[in-house]
């Protein structure tokens, strides 16, 4: 159920995000529309609209709403964009992106999370989302090239496979670095083998790991 109370709590969350520097009306509206509490276990429902990360299955987390909004604002999804999300997790980031682009592909390495989240997104009617079970380090070459790619886990380095799956002019948003706290990078593909990288602040994420977990 998505009640008036939940909607009111989301509006309060939007006010918090504005205070923290999120300025995109489209991103703020997406946050206001997506019922975050439905992407959490019932035990965490009362905390769903606080601006903090919370645990989900498979020892993973649902990202802090500010982080979701920041990454979404940075990737700047357009109505014509085909986007790949690496790290489906709870599906919350996918739901936010789905209302802002033409088609979203989202890939998850943990089979339990993939199965649970694919079913949830389907039940909630997110028809623009295509869920995939696979190794995020390899991306989704079958559906490439993408206008944008967004990674929702902390990488030690930027995977080359993801860069090659971008269209020229496309962008990869990825938290990356050798330290526990990662720099949020926006990598723009300026030509077939040329890239420009910008850094935007520091964030903490669960690790971006290779391979798949059945």
Show which residues are catalytic. Answer: 63
Q: How far apart are CA 133 and CA 104, in angstroms?
A: 14
Say if CB 153 and CB 166 are below 8 A apart. no
For residue 32, which of 65, 73, 81 has the smallest C-alpha distance?
65
* Per-residue CA distances from 43 to 12, 66, 123, 209 (Å): 21, 22, 20, 28
Q: How many residues does the chain have?
A: 214
Q: How far does CA 49 lie from the centroid of its chain?
A: 17
Torsion from C-alpha of 33, 67, 22, 78, nearest 10 degrees: -60
Distance CA 116, CA 114 (A): 6
């Amino acid at each position: 159920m998505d009640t008036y109370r939940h909607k009111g709590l989301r509006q309060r969350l939007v006010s918090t995000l504005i205070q923290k520097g999120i300025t995109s009306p489209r991103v703020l509206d997406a946050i206001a529309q997506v019922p975050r509490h439905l992407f959490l276990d019932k035990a965490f429902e009362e905390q769903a609209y606080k601006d903090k990360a919370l645990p989900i299955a498979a020892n993973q987390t649902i990202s802090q709403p500010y982080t979701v909004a920041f990454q979404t604002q940075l990737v700047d999804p357009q109505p014509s964009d085909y986007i790949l999300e690496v790290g489906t997790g709870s599906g919350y980031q996918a739901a936010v992106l789905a209302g802002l682009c033409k088609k979203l592909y989202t890939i998850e390495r943990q089979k339990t999370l993939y199965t649970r989240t694919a079913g949830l997104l389907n039940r909630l009617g997110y028809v623009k989302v295509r869920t995939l079970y696979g190794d995020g380090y390899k991306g989704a070459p079958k559906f490439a090239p993408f206008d944008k790619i967004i990674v929702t886990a902390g990488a030690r380095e930027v995977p080359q496979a993801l860069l090659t799956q971008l269209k020229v002019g496309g962008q990869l948003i990825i938290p990356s670095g050798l330290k526990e706290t990662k720099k949020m990078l926006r990598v723009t593909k300026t030509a077939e083998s040329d890239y420009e990288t910008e850094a935007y602040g520091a964030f903490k994420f669960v690790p971006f790991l290779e391979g798949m977990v059945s």
